[in-house]
Every structure is written in C-alpha cells, then in structure tokens.
Structure 1
Amino acid sequence: MLLEEKIAGAIAGMTLGDALGMPGELWPRQYIENQIGYIEDFLDGPSDNEVACYFSAGQFTDDSAQALLFLEAVCQYKTIPDVKILADKLLKWIENVNGFEKNLLGASSKAALLAHSKNEDYTIYTSKAETNGAAMRIAPLGCIIGDTNPEKMAQAVAKISRVTHSSDVTVAGASMIAQAVASAISGKTFDDIMQDVFAVHDIALKLGTPTYSANSKARLQVALSLLPSCKNDAEVSQMVYDVVGTGVLSSEAVPAALTIAYYCQNPEKAAIMCANLGGDTDTIGAMACAVCGAYTGIKAIRPAWISTLEKANGINFKQYTDMILATRNVFKL
C-alpha cells in the first residue's frame, strides 16, 4: 500500500471517528441509545447535548480542529514550534469559533489557555492535567515521525503537548496514540503495534510531571487480556465501558481507544463502535480511527463519508497528506 494512502487514512480516520462520535459526546451509553438510537451514520448534534449542539452532521469537533491546527504549525516550522506560537494559534482559533463561550474545550486546555491569554503561569495547570486533550490532537504527529525511534516520538509529543498538558499520564497517553499511528503506517501487525505502544509509554511517562493517575499501559494490557472472553462487538463495547472507562481522563480514553482499534482494525467499524460507546465518544473515536485508518489506508473508508467529511468541514485530505509527505524527511526535533 502506498505511504500516502496510509497517511490519508490516519487523517481521514481521525476526523471520521470524531464526527461520527460527536452527537453522543459525553452522554452515558444508555442515554445515547434512548435519545438517538444506534448511530451508524453522520447526525446533527442533538439540541439537548450542550457540547454537540453546535455541530451539524459530518462536522468534527475541537479534537480534529486542534489536531489539524497543530499539523499545519509543525509543517510550517518543520519542527515543534515554541509554546507561545502554539498558544497564540490556539487562542486565535478559539476566538474565531467563540470557543470559550461555547465551552468547546476540555477543562485542562481551557484553564491553560486562559492563563496563556493573560500571560500568567500556565504550568500550574499543565503539570496537573489528567485529561485527554494532548492525546486527542496528536495523531498527525505520528504521521510525520517514523515508528523506529520511540525516544524521539516521546520527546516530540512532550514538547508539542506542554502548551496545555505536561503531566506524566497525559504525555504518556499522547505518545501511545502517536506511536500507534506511526507503527500502523509502517505496516506492522496490531500485536507489534501494541508492543511499540507499551515501549513508548514507559519512555514518555518519565518526561511529564508525576501524578497519581492510573497507568494507561496497565489498563490497556488488562483490556486486551479480556478481549478473548468477549463473544461479540456488544460485549467488547460493554467491557471497555465498564472496565477501562470512557471518560475524559487520559488514563481512560487512551486505553479505551487503543483497545477498540486493536479489536476492530478497521476505521468504519471502530467509528461506529465508538459512536455508540458512551462517554467521550468523539475523542475516543478520533484516536481509535486514526490508528485504524493508518493501518488500512483511506480506501477502507467509503467515498461518500470522505466526501461528507471534506464538504462539512471545508477541508481536503490530499492537501494534508501532501503537507505531511513534504515534512516527514525534513522534520527536526
């Protein structure tokens, strides 16, 4: 498979999981079933979902918006830009979408960016962050950095994440997603991808401020060990929801996403499972489907969905793929 197909698959997969998971974002799984039914296609954000109500069918959320913003910044500078550059870009984007008033941001990102906007000490918030904001936007970095140097991957993730997240659990979780994307692009099996994910976790965990969060690697290992006892998709989904958790903590969302990616190994299947999962459905979907899309390539996503994602969000996947291809060989940390 061509490299560009796998890179395009990662970016398209990320936006697919995000957009399909948007309607039920931060709702319990039973509430999604009662209010929406079984989600199998793009839907408008329900009016009574205070987070999703601003979005129409096919639109992605702040997860993909921030990921593409960071991607453009890395491609522009051919390295990880300084914190102030990233903060200024994020604040400009927030202003354009009225993000603070619409409450589009996670708690950690909001607190850190408000501090940036006031020229206050943002590290008070980033060092204590436990949420998944760093992991949700990191997939494009895994398209730029190769899979063979986990130390470089972890260092790059830590550097780009520190604008909002600099704790051990958030740097480790984001590194797990970025490494999974990179290893999937390189054509590894999912078992080998998981081994790379475990390795980068241990490296990255040492790069962040220590917290007492649950260990994302350990949770992922438990979930993978339970998969053989699940008889069908519904039991896998329920196990992830009950055992790993599907909330906004990085220690829940990251292992949940990687478990679903490992089980589904296909971006469309993973997107539908994540959309109906309950909890932080858009973020888990964005991460899981980025990995699956990197594994299968963009052709595993139906053309009608690709067209909808591009039109609804005013983007072009080839443009982002070309940007990444032009940056991969010249990127320096």
Structure 2
Amino acid sequence: MTAERDRATGCLEGLALGDALGMPTQSFSPEQIEQRYGELSDLVDAADDQPIAPRMGAGSVTDDTEQALLLARLLIDGGGHVDAAALADALIEWEDSMRARGSLDLLGPSTRGAIDQLRAGAPIGSTGAAGTTNGAAMRVAPVGIAVPLSDPETLMDVVRESCLLSHDTVQGIESAGLVAAAVSAGVGGASPREAVRRAISLVEDAPGRGHWTAHASVTARTRSALKGAEGRSDEELFAFIRSDVGTSLEATESIPAAFALVWHYADAPFAALLAAARMGGDTDTMGAIAGAILGASMGTTGFPRDQVSLVRRVSRIPIDEVVPGLLNLRDNH
C-alpha cells in the first residue's frame, strides 16, 4: 500500500471509528454518559434509553459515516464533482433504507428541510440557504481525499457543490471547507497541526461563498478554539470546550470543538476520539471529523487495529472500494 493510499484509508477508518465511539453517547450530557458507560475507553453497546440509537451494538456507525461513503460514490461517479440533485436522490433513498431498518438515525434538520423544500418544488440553489448545522462538514471528507490542496479553487468549488443542496451558507461552506482542506493536507503528508493550520489559512483566503446568515464565522471561532485549547490539561480542555466552544450540531460549535480536539491530541489520536465521545452533545459528529483529520495525517497506524476491525466487521463499511476511486480523482488533478 502506498503512503497516500494508507493515509486516505486511515482518514475513512478514523471517521468511522470516531463516529462509532460517539454513537452510544450522542445527545447525552457528560453526566448521563458517565452514569451509563463509566470511564469510556473503547467501543460499547448503546444504552436502552439512547435517544437516537437505542441498543445498537458496539462498532455500529451512524449517518456521519454512511453519508460520507454515499458522497464518495457520487464523487467517483461524477468524475470529481457532486450533482446536488443526485445527492438529494441518494439521501432520500438512504433515509428510506434507514426507516426500513427501524433506525431513528435519519436526516439532520438542514438536510431534511432542504429535501422537503425540494419536494415542494423549490429549486436547488434556494434549498440550502438556511443550513448552518454540521451535516455538510460531517460527510465532506471524501472531497479532501479526491482534491489536492495544491488546487484550492477546485477544492472549494467541489466543497460548494457538496453544500449546495442543504448547507449553502457562509457557515455551511466554511465548516465543510475546513474539514475537506485539513483532510486533503493530511493525505498529502501534513502532520495534524500543520493540516489544521493550512485548512484555516485556505478557507480564510478563499473568496466568499454561500448565503449570509447571522451566525458567527466558523473559521474565526475555530481559530479562537485553538487559541483557547493551547496549554490546557485534558480536564481543562473538556471544561473549556463545553463552556466556551459548545458541542451542539451547529457548525459554529461542533467544528471548532473537533478541531480543538485534533490540536490538543495531535500525538494521541485515539484519545481525541474518546474525548469526543465523552464530551456530550453531538459526540458522533465531533468524533467523526476529528478521526477523519487525524487518520488522514497518521494513516492506518493511527488507531488501535482491534477497534478499527470491530467497526469494519460490524458496520461492513466499503472503505477499500471507494479509496482507489477517490485517489484516482486526486491523481488526475
């Protein structure tokens, strides 16, 4: 396996592992997480009262991983581009399959609202005008694998394509751009902290895209989160993120939180994912984003192989099927 393929594989493995670690804790408070799972140290089954994934088995992934792989296939089929109408169709089919399986893990609020508007006759281009949650960022990692950082304009154009349906706002595009750029930098050989720095610089320098909303800048809040995370102990970091950054599904909170975890745990990637799982709030998405960035930089050796193998076995995720196609797109640039 080439170094580039190892890092691309590590990206998607890290995404899936962070997602699966956060699956049983998502939407719980830190106190509820500790009551149900104690000192979380590996993959566990979801509790009976898990509000989104009750009784799901250890190693099960959520919408973060499934939608990322869905986007990967659309990118490959689209020759490196994302067709918003095809994304809508694929997401509707995915949600129908989830309902058939009895899952409560369905489309997020921005994507759900966009598809409802689309079905009511609204044109794509207007359906994502209010989407400021983290749905675009959670599934965008394949764009970072497919497009090298040396082509920033194309990278942000494809990010915009992936956001157009549901998150075509300044915040939606900033958040997805940060994740895609950090992943692209990592796949290209950058260390975790260097990948984060390069991602922030790229998004700050990119021309403005997307509809204006009254929310804060995701990039500015990410810079502030990194500054606030510097020099803190683990427990001080947890308290800082919970009180000053936030862990909700809003892009202005969960993306800076995930980047702060990458920054703090740049040399301890599995600890970053466990921290995300214990944080409370949108734990699976913070874990998935942190895992994708750390895995892109560190490759398949970044996380415990027994944990990754359990996720691969339980969730049957086709990582090895999409990585060659994504890297072929990258090579063509």
Compute the TM-score of the two structures, normalised by the length of structure 2. 0.93
| Contact map agreement 2:128 2:163 (CA 8 A) in 1 | no
Query: In the alignment, does 2:246 pair up with 1:245?
Result: yes
* 1:189-229 C-alpha deviation (Å, 9 max, x unpaired): 44432332222322557111011111222222222222334
Q: How far did residue 16 of structure 1 move?
A: 0.5
Give the Cα–Cα distance (whole angstroms) in 2 for the partners of residues 174 and 275 of structure 1.
Answer: 21
Kindly provide the amino acid, as one letter, of the partner of residue 169 in structure 2: S
Q: How far did residue 330 of structure 1 move?
A: 3.3
Gaps of 5+ in 2: none
Match for residue 61 of structure 1? 62
* 1:95-121 C-alpha deviation (Å, 9 max, x unpaired): 111189835221111111223344444
Match for residue 11 of structure 1? 12
Kindly provide the amino acid, as one letter, of the partner of residue 127 in structure 1: A
Distance 1:110 1:103, change over 3 A: farther
Counterparts in 2 of 1:219-234, with a 5 A limit? 219-230=221-232, 232-234=233-235
Counterparts in 2 of 1:159-170, with a 5 A limit? 159-170=161-172
| Contact map agreement 2:98 2:106 (CA 8 A) in 1 | no
Kindly provide the amino acid, as one letter, of the partner of residue 116 in structure 2: L
Q: Secondary structure at the match of 2:230?
A: helix
Distance 1:205 1:50, change over 3 A: farther
Match for residue 129 of structure 2? 127
| Contact map agreement 1:43 1:58 (CA 8 A) in 2 | yes
Distance 1:54 1:202, change over 3 A: farther
Counterparts in 2 of 1:79-228, with a 5 A limit? 79-98=80-99, 102=104, 104-121=106-123, 123-203=125-205, 206-228=208-230
Quote the RMSD (CA, aligned, Å): 2.0
Distance 1:323 1:267, change over 3 A: farther
Identity within the alignment, %: 28
Kindly provide the amino acid, as one letter, of the partner of residue 51 in structure 1: I
* 1:31-68 C-alpha deviation (Å, 9 max, x unpaired): 21122222211122222122121632101100110000
Q: How far did residue 280 of structure 1 move?
A: 0.4
| Contact map agreement 2:46 2:58 (CA 8 A) in 1 | yes
* 1:6-31 C-alpha deviation (Å, 9 max, x unpaired): 01100000000000011110112122
Match for residue 32 of structure 1? 33
Distance 1:217 1:81, change over 3 A: closer
Distance 1:35 1:156, change over 3 A: same
Query: In the alignment, does 2:316 pair up with 1:314?
Result: yes
Distance 1:329 1:229, change over 3 A: closer
Larger mean CA deviation between 119-128 and 215-224 belongs to 119-128
Kindly provide the amino acid, as one letter, of the partner of residue 97 in structure 2: N
Match for residue 281 of structure 1? 283
Distance 1:70 1:274, change over 3 A: same
Distance 1:320 1:101, change over 3 A: closer
Larger mean CA deviation between 34-43 and 176-185 belongs to 34-43
Give the Cα–Cα distance (whole angstroms) in 1 for the partners of residues 86 and 230 of structure 2.
Answer: 46
Larger mean CA deviation between 155-164 and 117-126 belongs to 117-126
| Contact map agreement 2:62 2:105 (CA 8 A) in 1 | no
Q: Count matched residues.
A: 330
Gaps of 5+ in 1: none
Give the Cα–Cα distance (whole angstroms) in 1 for the partners of residues 95 and 82 of structure 2.
Answer: 19
| Contact map agreement 2:179 2:293 (CA 8 A) in 1 | yes
| Contact map agreement 1:17 1:286 (CA 8 A) in 2 | yes
| Contact map agreement 2:63 2:105 (CA 8 A) in 1 | no
Distance 1:194 1:303, change over 3 A: closer
| Contact map agreement 1:201 1:217 (CA 8 A) in 2 | yes
Q: How far did residue 233 of structure 1 move?
A: 1.5
* 1:68-111 C-alpha deviation (Å, 9 max, x unpaired): 00001111221223211111111111111118983522111111
Match for residue 48 of structure 1? 49
Compute the TM-score of the two structures, normalised by the length of structure 1. 0.93
Question: Which structure 1 residue ranges, 4+ long, deviate > 4 Å from structure 2?
Answer: 121-125
| Contact map agreement 1:169 1:205 (CA 8 A) in 2 | no
Give the Cα–Cα distance (whole angstroms) in 2 for the partners of residues 186 and 122 of structure 1.
Answer: 33
Distance 1:128 1:156, change over 3 A: same
Match for residue 78 of structure 1? 79
Q: Secondary structure at the match of 2:54?
A: helix
| Contact map agreement 1:20 1:271 (CA 8 A) in 2 | yes
Q: Secondary structure at the match of 1:102?
A: coil
Distance 1:307 1:123, change over 3 A: same
